[in-house]
Amino acid sequence: MKTIDADIIQRLTRSDLYTEFKNAFEVSTGLPLKLRAFEFWQLAHRGQANESPFCAVIAQTKHGCSAYLEAEQRAVSAAQDRSATIRCFADLCHTAVPIKLGERTLGFLLTGQISLELPSPDRFDAILRQVARWGTTVDLKRLENAYYHSRVLSPDQYDGFIRLLEIFGQQLSAVATRMMVQDAEIEPPMVRRARAYIAGHHADPITLQEIACAMHVSTFYFCKRFKKATGLTFTEYLGRIRIEKAKNLLLNPHLRVSEIAYTVGFQSLTHFNRIFREITGEAPTGFREHGARLAKAAAGNRRGWRSAPKAVPEGAIRLAA
């Protein structure tokens, strides 16, 4: 399964959807972005255009590279179900946003290497003490220059950027699902027929017994072959199909959530809300509000960089609040 997941992440990485979003995100935010598989052994942002100059200097040392890799792995470990942000020894934020396929985590969107506080002599001295404990030799002048020229975001700004990644992560999860369930070249004919049957009857109260009977196989055989081909159980697949339909309907503000739930095939509003939250990470009402929130975030994020206040050491830069 890990090989299949890694292949999906590679295909997503090569997709126009990811490439175009990555370029737009990095240009508009100044932050690095990397889509990684569940397991990785190299720094996510090493050598990227938006890699923090400070991190680049530290990562040239063995201990510094290990420290940043450990920070990225801690972020990933904390982001199995939802996005997570941790801070490294230099007090920089590192964030992971999970890409899900049902209950399984395929990979992560990684960003960060950013401070939410202005550079300070005390903080820099603490960093130097840590470097000294490592017994590592670094170019102190270059390190100091990189530190005091580091970009700084406000917590609200960074939260807004992460929210954009969460929304995009949901899109990638949906694309990953389609990759798994619509690859006709490798799917058994029975699975293709089952998907077509589900697409045509998702609004009905379909049961496992019903679809197995329609495919003229036992429930055991159907479950085994369907899960092997799609990576999802029948229940998970049906739930995702219904939620995808619901997401489209939620864009219409004139439709009630309860009406949408029953339209796409849920027999209980409570069940609909629970499955919607499990798949998207939020309630249907929250998803409906994305348009306004996303527009507001985009408007704020378009504001340019400006110099830091005079109290900040010379060269420090802060993103406009």
Q: How many residues does the chain have?
A: 321
Instruction: State the pLDDT confidence band at 197, using cuts at 50, 70 and 90.
Output: very high
d(C-alpha 148, C-alpha 256), whole Å: 52
Q: Which pLDDT score is estimated for 271?
A: 94
Any domain includes 121: yes
For residue 304, what pLDDT band results from cuts at 50, 70 and 90?
very low
Considering the domain architecture, whether residues 59 and 25 belong to the same structural domain is answered as yes
Instruction: For residue 232, tell me if it sits in a domain.
Output: yes
Q: Are residues 162 and 194 in the same domain?
A: no
Whether residue 290 lies inside any domain: the answer is no
Same domain, yes or no: 272 and 148: no
In a domain, 272, yes or no: yes
Q: Is the model's pLDDT at 89 over the cut of 90?
A: yes
End-to-end CA distance of the chain: 44
Same domain assignment for residues 114 and 250: no
Identify which of 72, 87, 90 has the alpha carbon closest to the alpha carbon of residue 143. 90
In tens, the pLDDT along 12-25 reads 999 999 999 999 99
pLDDT of residue 313: 39
2: pLDDT confidence band, cut at 50, 70 and 90? low
| Mean pLDDT of the 308-314 span | 36
214-238 per-position pLDDT tens digit: 999 999 999 999 988 887 899 999 9
In a domain, 18, yes or no: yes
Confidence of residue 130 (pLDDT cuts 50, 70, 90): very high
Same domain, 109 and 203: no
Same domain, 168 and 188: no
In this prediction, residues 190-204 reach a mean pLDDT of: 92
279 and 132, same structural domain? no
Is 228 found in the same domain as 314?
no
Q: In CATH, what number is assigned to the domain containing residue 203?
A: 1.10.10.60
pLDDT tier at 293, thresholds 50, 70, 90? low
Same domain, yes or no: 160 and 70 = yes
Three-class DSSP labels, 53-109: HHHHHHHCCHHHHHHHHHHHHHHHHHCCCCCEEEECCCCCEEEEEEEEECCEEEEEE
Residue 92 has pLDDT above 70, yes or no: yes
* Average pLDDT over the chain, rounded to an integer: 85
- Looking at residue 183, its pLDDT comes to 60
pLDDT band at 102 (very low <50, low <70, confident <90, very high): confident
pLDDT above 90 as % of the chain: 59
Containing structural domain, residue 82: 2-175+295-319
pLDDT, tens digit, 9 for 90 and up, residues 226-269: 988 887 899 999 999 999 899 889 988 899 999 999 999 999 99
Residue 163 lies in a domain: yes
Mean pLDDT of 44-64: 90
- Identify whether residues 189 and 160 lie together within a single domain: no
- Report yes or no on 8 lying in a domain: yes
Per the structure, the count of domains in the chain is 2
Taking residues 183-204, what's their average pLDDT? 84
Tell whether 25 and 96 lie within a shared domain.
yes
Query: From CA 220, how far away is CA 130, in angstroms rounded?
Result: 58
Residues 31 and 162 in one domain: yes
